[in-house]
C-alpha cells in the first residue's frame, strides 16, 4: 500500500471525472484519477456532439481529450487501474486496485454506466455477428445493408441519424409510443427521409447462422408479430442496441446507499450517505444524463470535496494546501490520453502536425534501444506508398528508429520469416534485427497511432510496466498468431492491439498483427466480422470486443 494520502481520488475517467479533476486541480488539491480502461468513458463512442455549450460541433474523443489535457494542466495525476474493493468509512478512505492500494481523504465515484443489453434471445450469441452497440466503431461494417436501431432515447435518435450514412435503410424500433428524448433530438430522426420509425414494438428474438439473418418483432399493444429476413444478396443485417445504461456501481453495494437499479443516491451537493464520499455523472439518480449534466456534477462534487478536505485538515492540524502549482501550458500527450487521430496526408504531404510531432518526440526520447521498422513495399499499391510516407515521418522523430523498405517479392526468405500474407504491411524488428511478432497490415493512422507508438516504445525500452506474474505467463505462451481486426475510427481497438503487441514484445513466439479491416473485405467475409475490435486466434477462434491483457493471455492459454 502506498503511504501517500491524496486529498481526492476520483474513480472513473469520463466527463464527470475530468470536470472534477479540473476543479480540484485548480483548487490545488492533491488529486488522482483512476480509470480502469480508457480515459473519456462512453462519450468516446459518440460520433457527433452538437449540444455541448461552446462547441457548435465536435466529436466525443476530441472533447474528452481536451478535458483530459485541461485536468493535466492543473496537475492532476492519472493512473490506469481497476478498483476492486473500497473502505469508505473513517477519515482516510482506502481503495484496493489490481495494481496498487490507494488512500484519500475524499473520494469521488464517477464510474459511469455501461451499455445495457436488452436480453432478447440471440442478443448475446450474435454480438459481433450483427448485434452492435457502437455506431462509430461498427457502422461501416453495414454499408449498403439494412440496419435496425433499438431505442428511443438520445443515443438512439442521434446514432440512427449517423448510421444513415452507411445503411441502405435504417429502421428505429421503439417500445414506447414516442421518443423519450428532447423534441429537437427526436425531430432530427423523425424528419430524416432515410429513417423509418416503428413504435410500441420490441424484439422477440433474432436468429441466423454465422451472421444475423432473421429478426422477429412484436407489437406490445396488439401482440402482432412481424418478421424481417436478410436478403440473399446481403447475407445479413445490423442491429444497434441503444437501450439505456446500467450504472457501474457493483463494488459499492453495502458501502454506500444505492437506489433502485444500482444508481447512487446523492443530495444536490453530490454527497452520498458516507461523509467525504461523492458521486457524479450517469450513475446518479437524476432526470437528465448528458455530458453537460455530468460536467456540472463533477464541478460541484470537487468544490464540495475541497471544503470537506480543508475542514478535515484543519481539524487534524495538517497543512490545508500540500500541493503547490500554477496553471501550466498544455502538456505533451501521454499514453494514457485518449487517442487523437492523426490527419490523413495533406497537401503538404505531411501526416502529423508540428504539435503532434513534438509530443511524439517526447515519448520517443525515452527509447534506450534501436527499433527498425520494415515496410514491405508494393509500388503499384497506393496504400503501400501511403504506409511508406507515414513511417518516414515516424522514423524522423528519433535517431533510435530506422526505416527499411523491402520490395514485395524481392526477398522470399524475409517475407516467410515475418509470415507475410497481405499488403500493405510493416513489421518491427528489435535491437538485434529480429522479428518481434509485431505487424501492421494497413496504415496505423487515426486512433491506431497509439498502437504504433506503444509498439515502438515497448520494443525500444523496458516498456510499459507489467506485473511479474503476468510476464512469467506471457513467457510461457506457445507459438500463437493473433490477428486484431480494427477500424481506424474505433476508440476501443488501439487498447486491444497494444495489449496483444505488448505480449509479442515479451514473447516473440506470439505474433500480433493489426489489420485495417476496411482494406481486406475478403477477411471480413471469410470470418463473418461485423464488429471491432475482433481478435482471430490461430485462424480459428474469433473474440469480439475490448479485452484486457489478462483476458487475452487467458484466451491464448486456452
Grid look-up 490545508 returns: 320
Cα–Cα distance for residue pair 131/148, rounded to 1 Å: 10
Secondary structure element (H or E) that encloses residue 362, with its range: helix 354-364
Catalytic member of 30, 81, 134, 490: 134
For residue 222, give the C-alpha cell.
396488439
The answer to whether 485 is a known catalytic residue is: no
The conformational region for residue 525 under phi > 0 = left, psi -120 to 50 = alpha, else beta, is alpha
Burial 111-122 (b: 16+ CB within 10 A, else e): bbbeebeeebeb
Contact residues for 114 (Cβ-Cβ < 8 A; gap 6+): 42, 245, 246, 248
For residue 339, give the C-alpha cell.
487517442
Cα–Cα distance for residue pair 327/71, rounded to 1 Å: 10
Rounded to the nearest 10°, the torsion over CA 535, 539, 541, 545 is: 10
Catalytic member of 69, 137, 181, 516: 137
Cα–Cα distance for residue pair 418/412, rounded to 1 Å: 10
Secondary structure element (H or E) that encloses residue 542, with its range: strand 541-544
For residue 413, give the C-alpha cell.
526468405
DSSP string computed for 135-153:
HHHHGGGGTTSEEEEE--S
Find out whether 160 and 194 touch, Cβ atoms under 8 Å.
no
Give the C-alpha distances (Å, rounded to integers) separating 381 from 68, 289, 358, 393, 519. Answer: 38, 47, 30, 19, 12
DSSP string computed for 417-483:
HTT--SSSEEEEE-TTS-EEEEEEES---BTTHHHHHHHHHHHSSS-S---HHHHHHHHTPPSEEEE
The answer to whether 137 is a known catalytic residue is: yes
Cα–Cα distance for residue pair 306/193, rounded to 1 Å: 51
Catalytic member of 69, 138, 297, 378: 138
The answer to whether 181 is a known catalytic residue is: no
485, β-bridge pairs? 515, 534
Cα–Cα distance for residue pair 26/191, rounded to 1 Å: 44
Which residue from 391, 385, 389 is spatially nearest to 360, judged by alpha carbons?
Answer: 391
Cα–Cα distance for residue pair 365/370, rounded to 1 Å: 12
Q: What angle is formed at CA 512 by the lines to CA 443 and CA 391, rounded to 5 degrees?
A: 30
Cα–Cα distance for residue pair 115/370, rounded to 1 Å: 43
The residues assigned a catalytic role are: 134, 137-138
Amino acid at each position: 500500500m502506498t503511504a501517500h494520502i491524496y486529498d481526492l481520488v476520483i474513480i472513473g475517467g469520463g466527463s464527470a471525472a475530468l470536470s472534477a479533476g479540473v476543479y480540484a486541480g485548480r483548487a490545488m488539491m492533491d488529486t488522482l484519477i483512476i480509470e480502469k480502461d480508457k480515459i473519456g468513458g462512453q462519450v468516446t463512442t459518440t460520433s457527433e456532439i452538437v449540444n455541448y455549450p461552446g462547441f457548435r460541433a465536435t466529436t466525443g474523443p476530441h472533447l474528452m481529450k481536451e478535458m483530459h489535457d485541461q485536468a493535466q494542466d492543473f496537475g492532476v495525476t492519472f493512473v490506469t487501474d481497476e478498483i476492486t474493493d473500497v473502505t469508505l468509512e473513517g477519515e482516510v478512505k482506502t481503495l484496493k486496485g489490481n495494481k496498487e492500494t490507494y488512500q484519500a481523504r475524499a473520494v469521488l465515484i464517477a464510474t459511469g454506466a455501461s451499455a445495457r443489453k436488452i436480453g432478447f434471445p440471440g442478443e448475446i450469441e450474435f454480438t459481433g455477428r450483427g448485434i452492435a452497440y457502437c455506431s462509430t466503431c461498427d457502422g461501416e461494417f453495414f454499408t449498403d445493408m439494412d440496419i435496425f436501431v433499438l431505442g428511443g432515447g438520445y443515443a438512439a435518435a442521434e446514432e440512427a441519424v449517423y448510421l444513415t450514412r452507411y445503411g441502405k435503410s435504417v429502421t428505429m424500433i421503439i417500445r414506447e409510443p414516442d421518443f423519450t428524448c428532447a423534441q429537437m433530438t427526436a425531430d432530427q430522426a423523425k424528419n430524416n427521409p432515410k429513417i423509418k420509425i416503428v413504435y410500441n414494438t420490441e424484439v422477440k428474438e433474432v436468429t441466423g447462422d454465422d451472421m444475423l439473418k432473421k429478426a422477429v418483432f412484436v407489437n406490445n399493444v396488439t401482440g402482432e408479430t412481424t418478421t424481417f429476413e436478410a436478403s440473399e444478396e446481403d447475407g445479413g443485417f445490423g442491429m444497434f442496441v441503444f437501450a439505456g445504461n446500467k450504472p457501474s456501481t457493483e463494488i459499492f453495494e453495502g458501502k454506500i446507499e444505492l437506489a433502485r437499479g444500482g444508481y447512487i443516491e446523492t443530495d444536490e451537493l453530490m454527497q452520498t450517505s458516507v461523509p467525504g464520499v461523492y458521486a457524479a455523472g450517469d450513475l446518479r439518480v437524476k432526470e437528465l444524463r448528458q455530458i453537460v449534466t455530468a460536467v456540472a456534477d463533477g464541478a460541484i462534487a470537487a468544490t464540495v470535496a475541497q471544503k470537506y478536505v480543508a475542514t478535515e485538515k484543519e481539524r487534524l492540524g495538517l497543512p490545508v494546501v500540500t500541493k503547490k502549482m500554477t496553471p501550466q501550458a498544455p502538456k505533451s500527450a501521454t499514453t494514457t490520453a485518449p487517442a487523437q487521430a492523426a490527419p490523413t496526408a495533406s497537401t503538404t504531404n505531411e501526416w502529423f502536425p508540428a504539435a503532434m510531432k513534438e509530443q511524439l518526440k517526447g515519448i520517443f526520447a525515452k527509447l534506450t534501444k534501436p527499433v527498425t521498422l520494415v515496410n514491405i513495399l508494393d509500388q503499384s499499391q497506393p496504400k503501400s506508398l501511403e504506409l511508406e510516407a507515414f513511417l518516414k515521418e515516424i522514423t524522423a522523430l528519433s535517431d533510435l528508429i530506422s526505416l527499411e523498405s523491402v520490395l514485395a517479392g524481392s526477398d522470399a526468405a524475409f517475407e516467410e520469416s515475418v509470415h507475410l500474407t497481405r499488403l500493405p504491411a510493416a513489421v518491427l524488428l528489435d535491437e538485434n534485427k529480429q522479428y518481434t511478432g509485431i505487424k501492421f497490415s494497413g496504415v496505423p493512422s487515426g486512433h491506431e497511432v497509439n498502437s504504433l507508438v506503444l509498439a515502438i516504445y515497448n520494443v525500444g525500452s523496458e516498456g510499459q510496466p507489467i506485473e511479474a506474474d503476468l510476464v512469467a505467463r506471457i513467457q510461457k505462451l506457445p507459438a500463437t498468431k493473433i490477428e486484431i481486426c480494427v477500424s481506424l475510427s474505433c476508440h476501443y481497438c488501439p487498447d486491444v492491439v497494444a495489449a496483444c503487441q505488448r505480449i509479442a514484445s515479451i514473447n516473440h513466439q506470439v505474433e500480433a498483427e493489426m489489420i485495417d479491416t476496411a482494406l481486406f473485405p475478403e477477411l471480413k467475409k471469410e470470418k463473418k466480422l461485423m464488429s471491432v475490435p475482433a481478435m482471430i486466434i490461430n485462424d480459428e477462434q474469433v473474440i469480439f470486443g475490448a479485452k484486457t491483457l489478462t483476458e487475452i493471455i487467458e484466451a491464448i492459454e486456452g
